[in-house]
Amino acid sequence: MTVIKMTAEIRYHAFHFLSVLSDNIYKRFEGFFMKNDRIYFVLMFLIAMIIGGTFIYSFIENWSLLDSLYMTVIVLTTIGFKEVHPLSDAGKIFTIIFSLIAFCMLAGVIGILSSTIIESNVLGVNRRKKVIKKTSRLKAHIIVCGVGKLGSHVVVGY
């Protein structure tokens, strides 16, 4: 009974720690998460996954960096080739967790890229509609380009 209580308590504290940590990370990099910077965030996360996966495979399995990088790319791209070398139990557990994270990341990348494309198209269409609507209301107007010193006197005269 005590073991179950301890694990529930440990789970509660771990969840609380992770939620506080993620809030702090979001607040620190709040400007980084703006809609224009989402692609950069995804690319940085992908690079971090590649570097992290490479070093973890190298550490757990005692592989060369090239073999570790190769295995990381196989897992991240969901190609599914056979392992470079037979995996230890720790390597299998890491591969399971890493594969799940990679799959979620892939789904997130697809979502972010598609929403960015759709938003940019929708915003561009709405912007054009506003300009057309405003210019269609204008009657007997003059468009002045390149207003300098002389042009500003001409514009004031009208």
Per-residue pLDDT averaged across 53-71, rounded? 92
Q: Is 22 exposed, middle or buried (0-12, 13-18, 19+ CB in 10 A)?
A: exposed
- pLDDT exceeds cutoff 90 at 134: no
pLDDT at site 32: 47
Phi, psi for residue 23 in degrees, rounded to 5: -65, -45
pLDDT band with cut points at 50, 70 and 90 for residue 121: low
Q: Tell me the C-alpha distance between 11 and 23, whole Å.
A: 18
Contact 127, 97 (CB under 8 A): no
Average pLDDT, the chain: 75
pTM to 2 decimal places: 0.54
Contact 74, 29 (CB under 8 A): no
Instruction: List the domains of the chain with CATH numbers.
Output: 34-157 (1.10.287.70)
**Which amino acid is located at 77 in the chain?**
T
